[in-house]
Amino acid sequence: MANGGLFSQATRKVVSMAVSHSIQRLAERVRANGGQPLDLVLPDGSRLNFGQQPRVVMAIRDPGLLPALAHPTLGTLGEAFVDGRIDIDGDIMAVIASAERLASAAGSPATARIAAATARHTPKQDLDDIKHHYDVGNEFYRLWLDERMVYSCAYFQTGEETIDAAQLAKLDHICRKLRLQPGERLLDVGCGWGGLILHAAQHYGVTAVGITLSDNQFACANERIKAAGLEGRVRALLLDYRDAPARFGDASFDKISSIGMFEHVGQQNLPAYFGVVRRLLRDRGLFMNHGITSPDADSRTVGSGVSEFMDKYVFPHTELPHLHLVVREMAAQQFEVYDVESLRPHYARTLAHWSRRIEAQLDAARKLVGERTLRVWRAYLAGSSLGFQQGWLNVYQVLASRQEADGPTDLPLTRAWMYASAENPSPSDLSSMPSPTLLSH
């Protein structure tokens, strides 16, 4: 028994030395390639520098994590941070960048694409997935979103705008692209907290309906509609997109938007999703699909454990198709694609704004959601900003016209109108217009 204990102790010591040497070799490899501003503090208190004056310190709290550090991935580092096995000191954006370089040096770059997992995306599963992400509560989102609580890519003209100004510019960009006119009927699929439907009604004179699966978003959106005095022209509903044709009927809308929602549809469901939009939209009506895509032509997803981390902690069952699949499936439903715009640099900036805002209010956020959930969001926001900056992900606005009958679209010959804000009615212009009646469905 005593000999067995001594043997076990000796074995652990040998394994520990081997692991230590592996981590040392990784540090040497990083230093040989120019280094990075990182210090690693090991459980015994020793400090390992990676070749530059440190701006980031990762403190390993759990000795059991050391074997994984010999060959780290972004996923294992992220999960260890969430579990409290790693603590960090330094700017979270710099921490994520250092973690990415560390994983790449160890042979696990995020650019090593893997086949994307697929899911059935039944109504129940989609509802559960939405609850997973949004049940952290409206107050948590209010801490770091803009004043309108718009939870999608903002639009920057100079890059110097505040997040409030950039989100307002995004709402106008969408409304201009959709050529919204007073009295038109707008449906927003996945309306969030109602930012777009409120803005479109207030500034473009439309009647607007938004649908969501989130109880929290539904309640907040309707509170904001009531506070704005727009109950007669704007409505938010708890409704699955698959049930919308039965609720509203065919050709019930002049314009339809879907902003940051189709990522949750599933690639196998894209024909049904675009088919629903087709049914709801009148002929020659405009549809804006704004969503995150994979830059990989085969729709493979980000490697180094990133996709697994996101699926487990952030957005369960998210599927990101390549742009060509989006265009193909829209064309199969008689949509003629008119304009495609990548907003990748805009989303990198948006997420950086969100990350900085949550980092500035860590104590308040911790009181709302707890330390573990807060760590998930810190890693997710900063990591996603890096992902868009590096081109691991993209986000596109695809504008299309429903073309059932032969003949031209109802659109101008050029796209100059998308950027000519003077063409839009101002709020004062709309004040004297008659108030349209909301769809009575």
Q: Between 117 and 309, where is the model more confident?
A: 309
Quote the domain boundaries for residue 340. Answer: 123-430
Q: What is the mean pLDDT of the chain?
A: 88
List, for residues 88-120, the tens digit of each pLDDT value: 999 999 999 999 988 888 888 888 887 777 767
- Same domain, residue pair 60 and 169: no
- Same domain, residue pair 139 and 85: no
- Same domain, residue pair 149 and 298: yes
List, for residues 249-274, the tens digit of each pLDDT value: 999 999 999 999 999 898 999 999 99
- Same domain, residue pair 129 and 47: no
- Same domain, residue pair 259 and 343: yes
Query: CB of 388 within 8 A of CB of 291?
Result: no
- Same domain, residue pair 321 and 220: yes
| pLDDT at site 19 | 61
- Same domain, residue pair 32 and 130: no
Quick check: is 112 in a domain? no
The residue from 105, 138, 153 where one domain ends is 105
- Same domain, residue pair 21 and 59: yes
Quick check: is 115 in a domain? no
CATH number for position 372 = 3.40.50.150
pLDDT at residue 199 is higher than 90: yes
Q: How confident is the model at residue 311 (pLDDT cuts 50, 70, 90)?
A: confident
Encoding tokens for residue 69? Answer: 């550090």
Distances (CA, A) of 337 to 328, 359, 397: 10, 40, 11
Residue 212's closest CA among 260, 141, 154, 157? 260
User: How many separate domains does the chain show?
Assistant: 2
Residue 286's closest CA among 344, 347, 206? 206
- Same domain, residue pair 97 and 127: no
The residue from 75, 105, 135 where one domain ends is 105
Quick check: is 3 in a domain? no
- Same domain, residue pair 70 and 191: no
Q: Between 78 and 425, where is the model more confident?
A: 78
CATH number for position 48 = 3.30.1050.10
Instruction: For residues 284 and 415, give the distance between their C-alpha atoms in angstroms, rounded to a whole number.
Output: 17
pLDDT at residue 7 is higher than 60: no
Q: Between 64 and 397, where is the model more confident?
A: 397
Quick check: is 242 in a domain? yes
Quick check: is 20 in a domain? yes
Longest dimension (CA), the chain: 93
Quick check: is 174 in a domain? yes
Query: CB of 187 within 8 A of CB of 256?
Result: yes
Amino acid present at 29: R
